[in-house]
Each structure stands twice: as structure tokens, then as C-alpha cells.
Chains A and B, each alone.
Chain A
Amino acid sequence: MILCWLLFVPFIGGFLCWQIERRGAPSQLPRWIALLTMLLVVVLSLWLWLTGDFSLTGAIGDSPSWAREFRVGWIDRFGISFHLALDGLSLIMITLTGFLGVLAVVCSWNEITNRIGFFHLNLLWIIGGVVGVFLAIDLFLFFFFWEMMLVPMYFLIALWGHSGSKGNTRIGAAIKFFIYTQASGLLMLVSILGLVFAHYSNTGVFTFDYAVLRDTPLSGPLAYVLMLGFFIAFAVKLPVVPLHGWLPDAHAQAPTAGSVDLAGILLKTAAYGMLRFAIPLFPDASAQFAPIAMALGLVGIYYGALLAYSQTDIKRLIACSSISHMGFILIGIYSGTLLALQGVIVLMIAHAFSAAGLFIMSGQLYERIHTRNMPEMGGLFGRLGALPGFGLVFVMASLGMPGTANFIGEFLILFGAFETVPWVVVVASGGLILAAIYSLVLMHRVYWGTPRSEASLGGLDPREYSMLLVLLVLTLWVGLYPNTVLDISQTAMSEITHWFAVSPLPTR
């Protein structure tokens, strides 16, 4: 039942925000409601974290071991049920979602000044949709949330975004984002249906249940095609390089809260989808596809880094650096060793923290100097109070400095993948150098160089300071004591490794 609350609390909170604004309540009230809602989500997930048992008990079976489960019938005609389940992987993602949700509400405290209630409706409904994605274990339900979360994100970018140079670009960016993800999502729907009908023709039973569909015997080529449908949907969201076109635009035009959500959690839904669905449902086909996926990951690492280096807009730079980081995640996922998968979890969290921190800071810069164009900055160190100091730390985190969570993530991925694909690791490591280059370039262009004037632009107020401080503490915490996370995800990752490795069942 607590899973339902986790899912519905953001939706209810968002609706309240909108209704309260319409009733003419004071304009700060929706913010407080949104903040309380998100804190409630965090508290609920932390409570699950502390009370749940996520240790590896006994042998790994053919069906996943859920810590909690909730199930009611939904559409009996097709055997679709409202089936939520939680294991270590989803719990980590949900906690992260709740936490970044809090940050998104707080960081838009001064930025969003019109239609506050409706803004928070959209913000909270994104969070609700993402929580649904992380909880849903029925394929229909998963797709349902996967598509649903796009609508509020679309509104967030289209209505509160920054217009670029040419007229309506925020609407253009929003539509681009929506079409990319929706069209690829429909491919996934076709794949889901293909899988369901394959199961139906074998057994005469309609079902969309994850655990049942995992046992569907598929012929090789069919499995490969269906797997591609899933992979493309996730690859667009991650994004993998030839399908990344929406990302820089969406990030650049989105409001800060939108960027934080987008980089922090929406991209992670894709990695989650690969870990939860693409690989366990089609282990053979995935193993066959792994070299291509890893090659795409390599391309992403280098291409993203090169793109990032050439950007002048600070938010676009951070967005492109995300492409590069996601390349590591893709390699980690498809190398399939336990160590690499654990690294993927840590890197996802670390990237969420560091990207959120950088986006929040670029939002704060924009509030002070009203530009995101880096050539117009320079020499800001010392004019902004503690902001550049924080900036330095998050840039260091982003380039994978030891001591930060990003280092642990990248190290585990490379170390774990080395036993299976040494050459990929060798090439990928080169990407770390490029990461250092573009990160330092960011630092240099914005904070160093000759200042335009000596006047102070105003330091951080307590709200901004505490946001960044919390992010910083968490980055260091996970960097210095990653077992907090690794213990929780151990079971789920072992299962995936196991299924990936021993895939050739006699029935397949």
C-alpha cells in the first residue's frame, strides 16, 4: 500500500497546488505545498530504505525478489494488472527522484514568478510519472507512465522555458523533445505487443507481467527485433549519440527546475529501463547486441565531450557533458559484470548530483547576470560570494576527481568492464581526459580571466547556499562511503548479472 502512496502523493500534491492558486491563495502557498509533498516522498522512501531488507538472501531464482509488491487487476481482457513492485534498484532511483524533486521546487523559488500553481502541478506530475516508471512492473503500466510523464515536461519547457534567439524556440524545443521520446516510445509499444502476442501464441494467455514474460521462448531474430524496439526507446531518452538531437535544445530552453529534473532523473529512467527491461527480457539478444551498444557508448563519450567543448551557452555545455557521461553508463550496462553494474548505479546518482548542482548554479548565474553566454562572463571568482567555490567542486566532481561519487562510479564501471571488454575500457578512459578539458574550460571561461568589473554581484542567500551544500555533502558522502548505495543495489544487480550471463536456457 505504501507504494501506492509513494506514487499518488505527487499527483495529489500537484493538483492541490493548482487548485489553491485558482482559489486566489497567497502566491507562496503552492510552493510550500509542493515542498511538503516532495519532502513526504523523500521521507517515505527513506523509511522504506531503513526498514526494508535488501540483502542477498539465498540463491538467485528465475523471478526477481521484490522487497514490496502491490497488485490489483486492471484490464482483465489483456491480463493487464496494476502491478507495482520495489527492489533495491527502484528504491535508489525513487529516493533520488524525491530528493531532486525537492531541489527542483527550491531552486525555482525565485525563478518562477507567474502561474506558480500550474507550474508546480506540472513539476509534481513529472515526479509522479517518474516514480510510476520506477515502480511499474507490468509492461503496460510501465509504458503508461513512460508516456505520461512527457506531457507535464512538455508544458514545463514550453511555458516557463527561456526563449532562445529566434522567436519561439522554447516551444520548438519542447515539441522536439516530445516527438523524439513519444515516437520512440511507440516503437517500444510495438515491441511490448510483439512480446505479448508471442507469449499468447505459445500459451494462449494474455499477460503483460514482467516475471511471466521473461520466460517467453522467442526465436533469435524475433527477440533481436523486439529488443531493438526497447533499446531505441531507451536510447533516445538516455541519450545515445545518433538519437541525442533533442537534448541540448530541451536543456537550454528549459527552466532550471526542468533541467534539474531532465538531467537528474528523466535520463536515468532510460538507464533504469535497460537494466530492468531490455536486458532481463532479452538476455540473448542483448548479449548479441552488446558490442554495438558499447561502440555507441564510446562514440557518445567522445562526441559528447567534443560537443561540450565547443558550446558557448553554459547550459548546453552541461547538457552535452551529460551525453558523454551517459556513454560510460551504456558501456557499464552492456558489459554485464556485477562490478560494472554497481558502478552504473553510483554513476547515475553521482551524475544526478553533479549535473543538478551545475544546472542550479547556471540558473543562479542567470538570475544575477542575465546571460548564459560564457564569452560574456569571465572573472566572476570573488564577485559572487561562495558560488564559484561550489562551482569548482561540482566541476571537479563532473570530471571524476577521486573523493567524489563520480570517481567511484567511473572507476567501478571501467574496472568491472575490463575483464570482459578490455579494449573498450582502454578507449573509454581517454574520454576522462576530454572530460577534464571541457570541465576546466567551463571553469576558466566563467570564473577566471579578466573581470569585467569589480562590483559584487551578490552572494548566495541561505536558500541557495543550503541547496548547494546538501548536494556537495551527498556527492562527497557517496564518494567516500559508496557502500550506502552499493549494499542496497547489490541484490538487484546480482540478479541482472545472473540473467545476462546464464541466459541460454534450453527453452530459448
Chain B
Amino acid sequence: MNQFPTQLLALAPLAVLCVTVVVVMLSIAARRHHFTTATMTVIGLSLALVSLLGVLRITPIQVTSLFIIDDYSVLYAAIVLVAALACTMLAHAYLETLPDRREEFYLLLLCSTGGALALIASRHFASFFIGLELLSVPLYGMVAYAFRDRISLEAGLKYMVLSGAASAFLLFGMALLYAASGTLEYAGLVDGLANGGEHQSWVMIGVGMMVIALTFKLSLVPFHLWTPDVYEGAPGPSSAFLATVSKVAVFAVLLRFFTLAPPAANEWLLTLVGVIAFASMMVGNLLALRQRNVKRLLGYSSIAHLGYLLSVIVAGGELGTEAVGVYLATYIATMLGAFGVITLVSSPYSGTDAGALHHYRGLFWRRPYLATVFTLMMLSLAGIPITAGFIGKFYVIAVAVDAHLWWLAGGIVVGSAIGLYYYLRLMVIMFLDEPGESRRDAVSGWGQQSGGIMVLLLAALVIFFGVYPQPLIALVHAAGMAHG
């Protein structure tokens, strides 16, 4: 039992978040004040981030049979917390004029972040499921937060129904695996399955169902249909959260699951994942071509990007783990930046977000730095050098080439070429001169707001990692996964 204090310390980030949730809830009950609530949220998230430094001294450590805190989970927890901080800052500017109760948004955001942390550190199906649900359920509320706006409510409902269906698949898959192997721990699955050879087909179905549920959460083809609608309908900060925190956490657990319980024995499963990856690259990019709404466009582009990333899972290996870390870090910074600009242009809240392409027409000549940031983010999504996105793409192609997965490498090349078309179109629109039908701008002092500062920081980060990625690579390289 003398291990107990260390174990408690290992869970400190999660504990800090839970305390913050309670404190925020109580303070809202006592007195509503938007700025105070947002500040408390920021402080809570920052404390959790700082506590990760302390956790780093005792890694790797297993906490009960549910969680494993290793450098890998610390890295992804840090990414998630930074993304959540960024979303909080965006939300503050955005919600200022929401004609409704504003404070609960932070509560939902904190709960969801807590779920993400639990999911990342899970090594057991129970913590897996609880983490995933804790991550997803508050998201329904966040997506539908501007519920007086019809498309926001519709998006929330759509996400809830489909997400519920995916959870059912997940549970069923887990149950089948438990029935076949008799254990709920990822690592135990391998031994458990080795003994029960006659259950092989049940295992296949079980793993297949879990893959279905996760591909839904990651919005991969063919379970991608909700993505554009939800991205479009959700308020800007919620879309940003959905596109970053939820994707990182789910991908981190997917990679851990595939590493610890290698279904690599099942060649067909890896092929299936490869096919999903390839289809996502193609479908995401092709469908994005004809979009007239920036948020929908980013939704489709995220399908394609996760397709690129999924190809790494097929390749596997140590370089693969590293590639996932680098790619996710660069992708998160870019996506947050892109949604940040959209949110700033739509802030303060005044009805539906500024999503249509014509809202961005001539933005460069009105708000040059904001448009420069957006241009950078588009270039980064397209994977052009001097932006962080290029480093991510470089890694993914490197992994595919290293594993001799030429068809996936080819898919990435073709997908990127198609993707260029819409990124470039979006980019050039900001530089065109003709006045649009309706102008929406960020407020003139956007650079001084918390959200504006955050977006500028992200842009600096995207450039920095694009030009000098060595620190990022070293960081991710050090964050190895503990086996066991």
C-alpha cells in the first residue's frame, strides 16, 4: 500500500480536472459570471498541465488495473490539455454575446477533457469505455450549445444518435472479446486468445466491431457521414474541440490498443484498416472539392487527414508511433488555428457562424494578420514546406515508404494533390478584392483578445515546427509507450 501516494500523484492531472469541475459548478450555482468561470477553467487546465511535469518523474506506473501512466500518455495528455486551453480561450470571445446561459459550456468542456485524459491512459476495457463516454456525452451538449440556432441543435442530435450507436458497437465488441479471452486488459488479450484457438472467428468479429466504433469517432470512411453536418452546425469552439481533443484521445487509445494487443496476427484486419485509410483519403478529399462552406470543408479535410494518419497504424513499428505523435501535434496546432480564425471571424456570437466562402472574401485587405494566419493554416493542412503540416506529411510518407506500403504512399500523394485544389481556393478567396455580399469581420482589436493571442501563438508554433522540428521530434521520440 505504500505505493498509494505515488499512484495518486500519477492521477493528479485527472484529479485536478475533477476538482475544477466541482469548483466551477459550485461557483456557477453561487453566482453567474462569464469571465470568472472562464478564468477558473483556464487555471484548472493549466494546473493539470503543470502537474504533468510532476507525473513525468514517476512514469511509467500502473495505477490499479485500469490505467497506465507512461510517457506516451503524458505526451498525449499534454496535447489534449493544450488543445482544451485553446478551445476555452476561443469560447470566451465567442460566447460573450450568446443570448443564453454561457457558463455551463466550460463545465462540459472540462468533463469532456477529463474523459479524454482517462481514455489516453486506459489499459483496460472498463476505463476505455468510461473514458470514451465521458469524452463523448458532454460533446452532445457542446455541439448543440447554440440550440436556438436550428442547425446547431440538429447537429447535436445527429451526433448523439450516431455516437450512441457507435458505443453499442464498441460494447458488443468488447463483450465478444471478453467471451473469447476471459480478460478485459489489452495486454492480457493476446495470451487469452492464444489459448482459445476455436474462438478465432468471435475475436475477429469483436475486434471488427471495436474498429467500427473507433472509426466512427475518428470520422473515417464509411462512418464519416456525420462529420460535415456536425462541424458546420456546432458553434466554432465546439467544432474546434471535436476536431482536436476528441480525435487525439481516440487515436491515442487506438494506437495503444493496436500496439499492446497486436491484432497484427490478423493480416486481414490490417488490410481492412489500410482500405479504410485509403478510402478516407480519397472520399474526404473528393467530397471537399465542391463545398461552399468553410466548416464543412474542414470537416471533409479532417476525414482525409485521419486517413493519412491511419495508414501509419497499418505500418506500425517504432517509427510509426513517433509519426503519430508528430502528425497529431502538427495537425492539432493547424486545426485549432483554422477553427480559431473561423471562430474569431464569427465572434462575438451573432447567429450562424461565418462559414460561407464569401464571408472570407478580401479578408486579407481588412485583417491582414488574421488572414495571414489562416493562409498559413491552409498551407499547413496542404502540407507545404515551412509549415508544421509538411513535417507531419513527411513523417507519414516516410513510414509508408519504410514499410513498403506503396499503395498507401500513392494514396497520400494523390489525396494531397486533390486536397490542394480546395485549400488553395479557400486561400486565394481571402486575397480577392471584390466586396462580398455580407461582410463579417473579427472585431478590430482581435489581436489583443485571449483568442487572438492564442491564434497568433499557434501560427508562430506552426512556422517554428515547420522550420525547426527537431524539438518536437525529440519530445515525441522520448515519449515511448510502456508495454504491459
Contacts and interface: CB of A to CB of B under 8 A. Distances in A.
A158 B421 contact: no
A75 B402 contact: no
Interface in A152-188: 154-155, 158-159, 171, 174-175, 178-179, 182-183, 186-187
B413 A183 contact: yes
B413 A179 contact: no
Contacts of B468: 74-75
A148 B397 contact: no
B474 interface: yes
B385 interface: yes
A112 to B, nearest CB: 14
Given A183-B416, A187-B413, A193 B401 contact: yes
Interface centre among A22, A178, A189 (most CB of B within 10 A): A189
A143 B385 CA distance: 8
Given A75-B469, A148-B386, A151-B384, A175 B425 contact: yes
B315 to A, nearest CB: 12
Given A77-B473, A144-B390, A147-B384, 4 more contacts: A158-B428, A174-B428, A182-B384, A186-B417
B379 A151 contact: yes
B413 A171 contact: no
Contacts of A193: 397-398, 401-402
Contacts of B382: 182
A273 to B, nearest CB: 16
A137 B394 CA distance: 18
Interface string B381-408: 0101110001000100110011000000
Interface string B36-54: 0000000000000000000
Interface in A1-55: 22
A22 B368 contact: yes
B474 A175 contact: no
Given A144-B386, A175-B425, A183-B417, A155 B409 contact: no
Chain A, interface residues (CB within 8 Å), range: 20 to 34
Interface in B390-446: 390, 394, 397-398, 401-402, 409, 412-414, 416-417, 420-421, 424-425, 428, 431-432
A77 B425 contact: no
Contact of A186 (B413, B424, B425, B474): B413
13 contacts: A22-B368, A74-B470, A144-B385, A145-B385, A154-B424, A158-B428, A179-B417, A182-B420, A183-B420, A186-B417, A190-B401, A190-B409, A193-B401
B379 A76 contact: no
A179 B368 contact: no
A194 interface: yes
A197 interface: yes
B477 interface: yes
B365 to A, nearest CB: 8
Interface of B: 368, 379, 382, 384-386, 390, 394, 397-398, 401-402, 409, 412-414, 416-417, 420-421, 424-425, 428, 431-432, 468-470, 473-474, 477
A75 B470 contact: yes
Interface of A is mostly: helix
A178 B385 contact: no
Shortest Cβ-Cβ A-B pairs, 3 listed: A183-B417, A193-B401, A186-B413
Given A74-B468, A74-B470, A182 B379 contact: no
B70 to A, nearest CB: 21
Indicate the member of B368, B409, B421, B424 with the most A CB atoms within 10 Å. B424
Contacts of A175: 420-421, 424-425
Contacts of B379: 151
B401 A76 contact: no
Nearest to A193: B401
A189 B394 CA distance: 8
Nearest to B322: A77
B424 A178 contact: yes
A179 B431 contact: no
Given A144-B386, A189-B394, A190-B401, A75 B431 contact: no
Interface in A418-452: none
Contacts of B474: 77
Contacts of B402: 193, 197
A429 B432 CA distance: 47
A77 B470 contact: yes
Nearest to B474: A77
B386 A75 contact: no
B385 A147 contact: yes
Contacts of A78: 398
A429 B477 CA distance: 58
B428 A189 contact: no
B431 A155 contact: yes
Contacts of A197: 398, 401-402
A150 B431 CA distance: 17
Contacts of B385: 143-145, 147-148
B394 to A, nearest CB: 7
A29 B161 CA distance: 61
Contacts of A158: 428, 431
Nearest to A182: B420
B469 A182 contact: no
A200 to B, nearest CB: 8
Contact of A182 (B368, B398, B416): B416
Contacts of A74: 468, 470
Contacts of A144: 385-386, 390
Contacts of A174: 424, 428
Contacts of B469: 75
A29 B210 CA distance: 63
A193 B413 CA distance: 13
Contact of B397 (A76, A145, A190): A190
A75 B470 CA distance: 5
Contacts of B431: 155, 158-159
B414 to A, nearest CB: 8
A306 B468 CA distance: 48
Nearest to B382: A182
Interface in A117-151: 143-145, 147-148, 150-151
Nearest to A77: B473
B416 to A, nearest CB: 6
Nearest to A189: B397
A207 B401 CA distance: 15
Contacts of B477: 77
Nearest to A22: B368
B105 to A, nearest CB: 37
Contacts of A159: 428, 431-432
A182 B431 CA distance: 21
Nearest to A180: B417
Interface string A379-407: 00000000000000000000000000000
Nearest to A176: B421
Nearest to A158: B428
Contacts of A178: 420, 424
Contacts of A186: 397, 412-413, 416-417
Contacts of A154: 424, 428
A197 B386 CA distance: 23
A260 to B, nearest CB: 22
Interface string A97-124: 0000000000000000000000000000
A49 to B, nearest CB: 29
B75 to A, nearest CB: 16
Nearest to B417: A183
A148 B413 CA distance: 17
Nearest to B394: A189
